[in-house]
């Protein structure tokens, strides 16, 4: 035995004698993970979270979450002698008087933006491939919870420096809170320790930002990953892949090297952004003062859609019996986002209700093979995109010489008109793609070569598909829509009538497909066609 083998053996023995971990370790190291780039999007999220924890911890060593008024005495001249909160002053200190401080601040903020962006793209991948279906509905709900927490965490994070831009955002958040009926003004006074802005909110959101929310997120991420581990990852359809197997590479050594390497790559790219691209230059914004504001004030992108919704809301407020309800704030700020996130979280069950499909699914859908779901996804994205663009309407106006009033009207109408349009167009495109697949399987690939037959006819040579490709294009399931018996054999009306009729209507929409080629049709063709 070599020295290395002796050392490794000794260590393994030490651990196994105390935990009995050998069997589990063996199973773990040989666990199989399917390999596809779209499965790495969740990894980007996870690694960004780790980067946030590391860079964030660094920042906590210097940040002072106090709102006590101080006079700035650091090295940034243009703010010399200016009165500001200790939180803002300590952020300036980190940026200019701590070596590597500005780098870490920027790495932290870029990591946050990438964290949220990767989360959205990962969610889109899971949605469009149907990976949220049984048994993974719970994981989907955890994901939606993580998305919500991430948005709040990011908002609180960039509000910690107490600068003019983020302070304006806090003012708007306070207005949403205050607008809540009955308890609004109390909630606001309790959160801010009195009137806005008060002297305590930075330290309170600090506790939430560095402890409470990351703690909850860490717990949810752990459950999220454990479920993926235990339920085994889904895989794309293809030859050799079935609902009962997982095809891929083992954890050791391939996956460890690739996934571990990818962590360093994500960290490296984030650090690169932190090195070359300025982000959140709070020294230009100045300390927060409720009597000041800057043109073109926007929240970070993941809150931009909320800002856009608030901007395009009609000016509706009701006054009755001495009380005011601000619908122009509550609807875009709380009610609509609440409905959207609830629908999002429960979508797996909504789809189950529409299709009646309660089986386990481990093979992913190609988006075109589920036109209804893909169209719903496109519709939601369109809605969010219109809201997001409207959130930047003043910047768009200045940079493209447009009028904010016109952009606002475009968004007001567009947010109602464009999503259904996107739904219809996407669904039709999916059905066309299905038709194209069907043609490919039945007639083969058009090679573009023309051949003249002996009797004078010109034909284009079609190359038959390989069995692997043919299998890929035709393996998917196509189930009939749910049928409802409105009356039974004796003519008695079904008491579940209305619900059932609605359900079967949705089901018909959900199951709209182009019929895939059957083996019989393929055989018929092979006999008499090219």
Partner 1 sequence: MNPLLRIFEKLSRYRRHKFAGPALLITGLSLAGIGFSVAQAATTEIQQITTSDKASLIAEGKEIFARGCSSCHGLNAEGAGAAPSLIGVGAASVDFQVATGRMPMADMSQQAMRKEPVYNEAQVAALAAYVASLAPGPAAVTNEELAWERSGDTALGGELFRTNCAMCHNLAGQGGALTQGKYAPTVMGVEPRHIYEVMVTGPQAMPVFANTVLTHDEKLSIIKWIKHAENEPALGGAALGRVGPVTEGLLAWTLGLGLLIGIAVWLTTKAR
Partner 2 sequence: MSNENSGAVEKLSDPGLPEHVQRKTDVDPRAAKKAERQVSILFALSAVGTILFIYSYIWIPEDTFIFLPITGTTNAHQLFLGLGLAMALFFIGMGAVHWAKTLMPDHEVVDYRKEQRSKDEDRAALVATVKEGAANAGLGRRPLIKRTLGVALGLVGLSPLLLLRDLGPLPGDELTKTNWKQGTRLVTDPGDRPIRPSDLEVGGVAQVQPAFPAGKVRHLDDIAKDSVLLVRLRPEEFNLDTERLSWTHEGIIAFSKICSHMGCAVALYEQTTKHLLCPCHQSTFDVTRAAKVIFGPSARPLPQLPITVDSEGYLVAQAPFNEAVGPSFWERDS
Phi, psi values for residue 186, rounded to 5°: -70, -45
Which of 62, 189, 236, 353 binds partner 2 (CB under 8 A)? It is 189
Which residue, among 67, 80, 302, has the nearest Cα to 205 in the 3D structure?
67
Q: C-alpha angle with apex 350: 346 to 351, nearest 5 degrees?
A: 120
Burial of 382 (0-12, 13-18, 19+ CB in 10 A): buried
What, of partner 2, partner 1, none, does residue 279 touch, CB below 5 to 8 Å by kind? partner 1
The reply to whether 416 sits near partner 1 by the rule CB under 8 A is no
Which H/E stretch holds residue 85? Answer: strand 83-85
Q: Are strands 318-320 and 323-325 parallel, antiparallel or unpaired?
A: antiparallel
Q: How far is the CB of 10 from partner 2 (least distance, A)?
A: 27
The reply to whether 246 sits near partner 2 by the rule CB under 8 A is yes
The reply to whether 41 sits near partner 1 by the rule CB under 8 A is yes
The reply to whether 392 sits near partner 1 by the rule CB under 8 A is yes
The reply to whether 274 sits near partner 2 by the rule CB under 8 A is yes
The reply to whether 454 sits near partner 2 by the rule CB under 8 A is no
What, of partner 2, partner 1, none, does residue 495 touch, CB below 5 to 8 Å by kind? none
Which of 152, 212, 228, 247 binds partner 2 (CB under 8 A)? It is 247
CB atoms within 10 A of CB 68: 10
Q: C-alpha angle with apex 129: 356 to 117, nearest 5 degrees?
A: 130
The reply to whether 135 sits near partner 1 by the rule CB under 8 A is no
| Sole window of 18-26, 250-258, 420-428, 450-458 interacting with partner 2 (rule: CB under 8 A) | 250-258
The reply to whether 102 sits near partner 1 by the rule CB under 8 A is yes
- Looking at the DSSP bridge assignments, the partners of residue 163 are 287
| Sole window of 11-19, 207-215, 238-246, 414-422 interacting with partner 2 (rule: CB under 8 A) | 238-246
Q: How far is the CB of 258 from partner 2 (least distance, A)?
A: 5
CB–CB of 288/166 below 8 Å? yes
Which residues, 43 to 62, sit near partner 1 by CB under 8 A?
A: 44
Q: How far is the CB of 37 from partner 1 (least distance, A)?
A: 4
Which residue in this structure is represented by tokens 């509706």? 316
What, of partner 2, partner 1, none, does residue 314 touch, CB below 5 to 8 Å by kind? partner 2
**102 or 228: whose CB is closer to partner 1?**
102
The reply to whether 436 sits near partner 2 by the rule CB under 8 A is no
CB–CB of 106/277 below 8 Å? yes
Q: How far is the CB of 504 from partner 2 (least distance, A)?
A: 12
Binding mask 39-78 for partner 2 (x = CB under 8 A): ----------------------------------------
**35 or 512: whose CB is closer to partner 1?**
35
CB atoms within 10 A of CB 502: 13
The reply to whether 93 sits near partner 2 by the rule CB under 8 A is no
The reply to whether 106 sits near partner 1 by the rule CB under 8 A is yes
**24 or 264: whose CB is closer to partner 2?**
264
| Sole window of 136-144, 238-246, 261-269, 443-451 interacting with partner 1 (rule: CB under 8 A) | 261-269
Phi, psi values for residue 195, rounded to 5°: -70, 160
**177 or 344: whose CB is closer to partner 2?**
177
| Sole window of 57-65, 114-122, 412-420, 456-464 interacting with partner 1 (rule: CB under 8 A) | 114-122
Q: C-alpha angle with apex 339: 337 to 340, nearest 5 degrees?
A: 60
- How many residues comprise the chain? 530
Residues 6+ apart with CB under 8 A from 269: none
CB–CB of 352/112 below 8 Å? no
CB atoms within 10 A of CB 257: 11
Which of 272, 339, 524, 526 binds partner 2 (CB under 8 A)? It is 272
The distance from CA 525 to its chain's CA centroid, rounded to whole angstroms, is 44
**358 or 455: whose CB is closer to partner 2?**
358
Burial of 374 (0-12, 13-18, 19+ CB in 10 A): buried
The reply to whether 296 sits near partner 1 by the rule CB under 8 A is yes
The reply to whether 366 sits near partner 2 by the rule CB under 8 A is no
Which of 1, 2, 4, 295 binds partner 2 (CB under 8 A)? It is 295
Binding mask 314-353 for partner 2 (x = CB under 8 A): xxxx-x--xxxxx-xx--x---------------------
The reply to whether 239 sits near partner 1 by the rule CB under 8 A is no
The reply to whether 260 sits near partner 2 by the rule CB under 8 A is yes
Token output for 243: 């609902």
Which residue in this structure is represented by tokens 């018929």? 524
What, of partner 1, partner 2, none, does residue 172 touch, CB below 5 to 8 Å by kind? partner 2
Which residue in this structure is represented by tokens 């009137």? 195
- Cα gap 327→23, rounded to integer Å: 60
Q: How far is the CB of 363 from partner 2 (least distance, A)?
A: 11
Which residues, 61 to 80, sit near partner 1 by CB under 8 A?
A: 77-80
Residues 6+ apart with CB under 8 A from 412: 312, 314
Phi, psi values for residue 511, rounded to 5°: -100, 10
CB contact burial 10-38 (16+ within 10 A = b; e otherwise): eeeeeeeeeeeeeeeeeeeeebbbbeeeb
**291 or 314: whose CB is closer to partner 1?**
291
The reply to whether 397 sits near partner 1 by the rule CB under 8 A is yes
Cα distances from 171 to residues 192, 245, 293, in angstroms, run: 11, 53, 11
């Amino acid at each position: 035995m070599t020295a290395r083998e002796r050392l490794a053996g000794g260590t393994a023995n030490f651990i196994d004698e105390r935990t009995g971990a050998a069997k589990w370790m063996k199973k773990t190291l040989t666990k199989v993970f399917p390999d596809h780039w779209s499965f790495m999007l969740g990894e980007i999220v996870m690694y960004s979270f780790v980067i946030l924890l590391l860079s964030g911890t660094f920042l906590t060593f210097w940040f002072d979450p106090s709102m006590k008024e101080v006079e700035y005495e650091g090295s940034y001249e243009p703010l010399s002698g200016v009165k500001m909160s200790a939180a803002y002053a300590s952020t300036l200190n980190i940026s200019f008087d701590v070596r590597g401080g500005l780098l870490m601040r920027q790495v932290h903020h870029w990591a946050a933006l990438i964290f949220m962006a990767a989360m959205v793209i990962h969610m889109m991948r899971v949605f469009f491939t149907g990976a949220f279906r049984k048994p993974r509905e719970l994981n989907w709900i955890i994901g939606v919870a993580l998305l919500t927490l991430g948005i709040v965490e990011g908002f609180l994070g960039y509000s910690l420096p107490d600068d003019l831009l983020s302070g304006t955002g806090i003012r708007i958040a306070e207005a949403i809170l205050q607008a809540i009926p009955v308890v609004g003004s109390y909630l606001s006074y309790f959160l801010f320790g009195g009137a806005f802005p008060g002297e305590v909110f930075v330290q309170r959101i600090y506790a939430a930002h560095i402890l409470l929310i990351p703690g909850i997120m860490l717990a949810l991420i752990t459950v999220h990953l454990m479920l993926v581990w235990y339920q085994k990852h889904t895989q794309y359809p293809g030859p050799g892949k079935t609902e009962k197997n997982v095809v891929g590479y083992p954890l050791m050594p391939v996956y460890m090297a690739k996934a571990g390497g990818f962590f360093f790559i994500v960290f490296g790219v984030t650090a690169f952004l932190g090195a070359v691209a300025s982000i959140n230059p709070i020294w230009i914004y100045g300390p927060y003062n409720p009597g000041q504001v800057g043109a073109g004030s926007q929240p970070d992108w993941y809150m931009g859609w909320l800002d856009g919704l608030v901007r395009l809301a009609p000016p509706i407020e009701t006054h009755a019996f001495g009380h005011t309800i601000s619908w122009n704030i509550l609807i875009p700020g709380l009610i609509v986002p609440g409905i959207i996130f609830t629908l999002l979280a429960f979508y797996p069950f909504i789809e189950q209700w529409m299709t009646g499909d309660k089986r386990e699914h481990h093979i992913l859908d190609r988006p075109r093979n589920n036109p209804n779901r893909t169209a719903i996804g496109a519709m939601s994205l369109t809605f969010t995109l219109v809201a997001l663009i409207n959130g930047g309407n003043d910047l768009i106006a200045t940079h493209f010489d447009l009028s904010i009033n016109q952009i606002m009207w475009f968004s007001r109408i567009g947010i109602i008109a464009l999503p259904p349009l996107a739904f219809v167009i996407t669904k039709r495109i999916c059905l066309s793609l299905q038709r194209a697949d069907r043609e490919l399987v039945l007639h083969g690939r058009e090679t573009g070569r023309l051949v003249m037959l002996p009797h004078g006819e010109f034909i284009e040579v079609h190359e038959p598909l390989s069995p692997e490709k043919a299998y890929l294009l035709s393996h998917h399931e196509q189930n009939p829509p749910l049928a409802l018996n409105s009356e039974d054999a004796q003519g008695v009306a079904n008491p579940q009538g209305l619900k059932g009729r609605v359900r079967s209507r949705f089901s018909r929409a959900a199951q709209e497909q182009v019929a895939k080629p059957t083996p019989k049709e393929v055989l018929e063709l092979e006999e008499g066609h090219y």
